[in-house]
Chain A
């Protein structure tokens, strides 16, 4: 610790309430924040990284007991600070940027007023000066048309713009320390790249100490000066970013780094001369909302003239940013929503022209794996029933279906005893395996995976991806794989379709797409993936 230290956290120990899965949320954690440096705190969900941030902001819930340690800032121990002390400190000395800018901003207040509130809370400046300062801050964080944005409500801005406004708020009183809790996780890759750039830039200009919390090693390698790796509330490794990322010492750090999918697509055998499993022709879907007597209706084109096919045994990826229409296409293919126009053919069957009983019967041929493992399983049904329900609905004998469900649980790497348990007793990764078992129970030909690994930690993500790949090969499945993560797509897809504003702009074999992207949007997406340029960054 040769450089000056802004904040020093020493042996911090926070106890969880009784009955939790472990005694300490944060166990004997020590690290320092230095001016002009970004410290990344990395860990998987439940590793205690957000607890560190909340301790530093004095936002710990009352149920968490501060057992030992100290947070030293400016000659005082923040852990023993009273409410009045915190009021003077927060915003002025330590500021925070949250994960979800939509919920962190007050929806009923103009952006400019929310920034001005920062000065008001600390009794600084006159109202007129506050307004000017807000405008100046918005200009500094690069919000387009700051004069208009100052008067805008949060919902009138895009996700990236909202996060810029949040950052402007945090910077208003020129704090010495900025705590950023997963500030780019809710954003698209291209926006994420811009926000990271902005944070890096502001932090250099103002010589702030930044504590940046993330689960994404790509982001770490783009932004960090120092890295702290947390596992189960303990620091397993910390050091300079280059050392930790290139020469990881602890096995956990190595495992985490190894689990990050590479941008290099593995070689794949070409699948020519196979029959088509799915053919999608000219799919159109427009959502119309609003539209009354006094206001014009709002139209969003979720799919326009979408054409693609999937060969038997092939995985086709659908990538794009949020709002590009990729999930709508998945739901159109599943017939969870009805297309305005176009055809989805499964083999020889026209899946878009059947209905009622015939549709229910044909549904068994195409199954879906959902994004959120916590929302996709009925909390009030046992796992065995969840898996066996489908086959029973299709006329399988219940005893046979349950027998088969037990086998499927084995196939996805769970114990058959899981049959009698409820979904909440399982972790996210295990739930996703149950979701996969449910999809396989009907012996489908095609699997549609909608962001199936996006909600999982990297190490679990790697396991689930391997499982999917393995099952696909063993059962000869075709797959439509929807993701926003190009690294994941590179690893699992034979071909990738890039979507933008409801249309497919480029559809190519994976290797070709990564080596020779043609469409400018594809190039932009590829360039924005974090963690590719760590070597070229000036340290």
Chain B
């Protein structure tokens, strides 16, 4: 494990990403302690530019709400949605892919046709429909994002399992009389995990973007302040009050960038053969 961290930390991009992400997580956890007031509360005159009134460094929005407080509370929503929906997508995608790859034949065909069914529908359109039907709430948003993002996981895992199951150590496990579940769980999945971890880190980023897009369109949870909602609400007044959309936009950009950098770093650390050593 220490070798993993050493390779990870040698990658400057990965370190920067990790620092930004840790910062965002810290803000999400401890930020509300520093800003105990609700981000929905009107605290000052509307349209206050940044750095004009002490205590409101990022100014106020069209209804006089603190933009900084909004960003801090939004971090919670974005990270939560990103992580939970990715977990849910993995929980569906990994078993489907593993079973399809391991058993192949009719079982595999059936599972993969099912997967492709989801892939043929444009994912953002499907997410909008799902949230609209289920009523916008944090649960329905997480669910919608998970439903549109598990097929790539299933396909990736299936490919890995397909190639791993012909390895000699898997055959050795069959020959020594291990059960199917043991072979999948203990022999195959641990060796298939590194590309999945890399994909997962990028999926968190995509999920954050998806949530922001949904909130931008007004399909976010009405009780939770989120970055996408802030951008959406400020868009109409962007020429008078650029800061209302700019700062949440930067927050989205930074967190997605951080996750992508981490994904890149993870890829280097987990696939040592692609390292820059050699020529």
Contacts and interface: CB of A to CB of B under 8 A. Distances in A.
A394 B178 CA distance: 8
Contacts of B174: 336, 363
Interface string A355-372: 000001101101110111
B182 A378 contact: no
22 contacts: A63-B277, A63-B279, A336-B175, A361-B177, A363-B174, A363-B176, A364-B176, A368-B172, A370-B168, A375-B169, A376-B168, A376-B172, A378-B190, A378-B191, A380-B191, A389-B176, A389-B178, A389-B186, A390-B177, A390-B178, A393-B176, A438-B172
B167 interface: yes
Contacts of B167: 375
Interface in A429-464: 435, 438, 441-442
A85 interface: no
A438 B178 CA distance: 13
Contact of B278 (A63, A393, A394): A63
Contact of A378 (B169, B175, B179, B279): B169
A61 B278 CA distance: 6
Given A62-B278, A380-B190, A380-B191, A394 B168 contact: no
B112 to A, nearest CB: 18
B175 A334 contact: yes
Given A63-B277, A336-B175, A361-B177, A393 B182 contact: yes
Contacts of B169: 375-378
Interface string A327-339: 0000000101000
A367 B175 contact: yes
A449 to B, nearest CB: 12
Contacts of B168: 370-372, 375-376
A366 B176 CA distance: 9
Interface string A383-415: 000000110011000000000000000000000
Contact of B279 (A61, A360, A372, A376): A61
A438 B173 CA distance: 10
A339 B167 CA distance: 20
A381 B188 CA distance: 11
Contacts of A393: 176-179, 182
Contacts of A367: 175-176
Interface in B225-248: none
A442 B176 contact: yes
A384 to B, nearest CB: 14
A498 to B, nearest CB: 25
A90 B187 CA distance: 46
Interface of B: 167-169, 171-179, 182, 186-187, 190-191, 277-279
A109 to B, nearest CB: 23
A266 interface: no
B177 A360 contact: yes
A379 interface: yes
Contacts of B191: 378-380
A63 B168 CA distance: 32
Contacts of A368: 171-172, 175
A370 B186 contact: no
Contacts of A361: 177
B279 A62 contact: yes
Contact of A336 (B171, B277, B278): B171
A506 to B, nearest CB: 29
Nearest to A360: B177
Contacts of B179: 360, 393
Contacts of B277: 17, 63
Q: Which of B167, B168, B178, B279 has the most CB of A within 10 A?
A: B168
B176 A438 contact: yes
A62 B191 CA distance: 30
A61 B276 CA distance: 12
A380 to B, nearest CB: 5
Contacts of B186: 378, 381, 389
Contact of B172 (A17, A370, A380): A370
A166 to B, nearest CB: 22
A361 B279 CA distance: 50
A447 to B, nearest CB: 11
A390 B176 contact: yes
A376 B169 CA distance: 4
Contacts of B172: 368, 370, 376-377, 435, 438
Given A360-B177, A393-B179, 9 more contacts: A361-B177, A364-B176, A367-B176, A370-B168, A377-B169, A378-B169, A389-B182, A393-B178, A393-B182
Interface in A499-519: none
Nearest to B176: A390
A376 B277 CA distance: 27
Contacts of B279: 61-63
Nearest to A442: B176
Given A62-B278, A62-B279, A381-B186, A389 B173 contact: yes
Q: Which of B167, B168, B173, B176 has the most CB of A within 10 A?
A: B176
A314 B190 CA distance: 39
B7 to A, nearest CB: 13
B19 to A, nearest CB: 28
Contacts of A380: 190-191
Nearest to A380: B190
A17 B171 CA distance: 36
Nearest to A381: B186
A240 B178 CA distance: 55
Contacts of B173: 378, 389
**For B175, B178, B278, B279, which residue has the most chain A Cβ atoms within 10 angstroms?**
B175
A375 B175 CA distance: 15
A378 B176 CA distance: 14
B190 A442 contact: no
A64 to B, nearest CB: 10
Contacts of A366: 175
A467 B168 CA distance: 22
A140 B169 CA distance: 45
A17 B179 CA distance: 44
Contact of A394 (B171, B175, B177, B190): B177
Contacts of A379: 191
Nearest to B170: A378
The 5 A-B pairs at the shortest CB distance, nearest first, are namely: A390-B176, A376-B168, A363-B177, A360-B177, A370-B168
Contacts of B187: 378, 381
Given A61-B278, A379-B191, A380-B190, A370 B176 contact: no
Residue with the highest number of chain A CB atoms closer than 10 Å, among B167, B168, B177:
B177
